[in-house]
Amino acid sequence: MKKKYFNLILLSILTLNVLGQDTLYFDSKWKKTTADNAKFYRIELKTEIGFKRTDYFASNNQIQMCGEYISLNPEVRTGEFKWFHDNGKLKHIGAYTDNKEIGTHKWYFNNGGLEAIENYANGKLDGEYKEFNNNGKPSLETSFSNGLQNGLTKYYREDGSLHSKGQFKNGDKIGIWKYYNETGGIIGEEEYKTDYLIEEANMEIQFPSTKWQLASKTPGNMTGYIFKREEIIDKNGQKIIPAVMIYTEDASKYQDIMVFSVDKQMPLRSKGVQINETLIHENDNYPIGYKKSILYKCSYRQGEFDHILYMAHIVTKNKIGVQILMDMTKGISNDYENEFVEILKTIRFK
């Protein structure tokens, strides 16, 4: 009888302890609201190491998330966390240390099927990574290193047949990628690379990612290479495709780099291009490692758009003249003109 009486007291104390916690209510965007308008509600309990938080779906009182925090301000997760679908099935499970993901994290569809397997080290994807279709067949197999996609990668169709495979390096496709039909036959190949040789000038140049691709090469007295970047959506919703144009020609008729440069400026100046800044090798932070070169930062207006134009002129020791132009609208220049500067830094002559 004494033991039963003690258990009743203990249960009453625990019940009062839970009821004594503040219940917080949230709307669908996790902003605080009233109980009547809540999509979720939260109960937090003090523990030996910090706080245990449990979030619930207000519609059916199913658990939405549970885990422990060392601190709530700022929020610092520790140990295993679980998230659930509103039908009660597990959605995501994984561990944290000092608010950073560690070890294996698993994601599930609301039917209980496995959706993805991730591996983390110190908060960054690191190791094997897999995604699955809702029917249980693989969708993606790859791996990560320090947060960047690296290594052999395979994409699959919903029926499980291999769609394509190839290598990633530091987050970019690299090398030869092969594409397959539903029966496993090869239907195409595509090469991804970041290093290019401008043969006529024996000039090597590297692009920051495989988002840049050689779009065309036009041979002749003035050989032209046009590289285009994947499209960028500016703040106005416009689709912009930055381009780098490289032209090579015989420059033996020019006395020096300055004469070559002045001659090559004239067609652009006649079309309204204005030179805003001129840089030479002696300037601080000059990006081109070759002395016989000049870099201009220019501007012009075309239709309703203001443009930024970079113009670099080089004369090699073999008297080959090189023009390098990069054109973009001003609206994206703050975010992407640094890519052109990084490209210039990679120029090397064999």
* DSSP output for 125-181: E-EEEEEE-TTS-EEEEEEEETTEE-EEEEEE-TTS-EEEEEEEETTEEEEEEEEE-
Q: Is the pTM of this model over 0.85?
A: no
| Residue that the structure tokens 């000092």 belong to | 98
pLDDT in tens, 265-323: 999 999 999 999 999 989 988 999 999 999 999 999 988 888 899 999 999 999 999 99
pLDDT for the residue 327: 86
Class for the domain spanning 195-349: alpha beta
Q: Whose structure tokens read 């309990």?
A: 45
CATH topology of domain 18-192: Outer Surface Protein A; domain 3 (3.90.930)
pLDDT, tens digit (0-9, with 9 covering 90-100), for 169-201:
988 888 999 999 999 999 999 888 899 999 999
Distance CA 204, CA 194 (A): 11
Strand partners, 96: 79, 101
Pairing of strands 148-149, 243-250: unpaired
Give the whole-angstrom CA distance, residue 91 versus residue 107.
Answer: 6
Using alpha carbons, list the distances in angstroms from residue 218 to 103, 168, 226.
Answer: 51, 30, 9
The pLDDT of residue 217 is 95
pLDDT at 241: 87
Q: Compute CA 208 distance to the chain's CA centroid, rounded to the nearest angstrom.
A: 13
For the chain, the structural domain boundaries read 18-192, 195-349
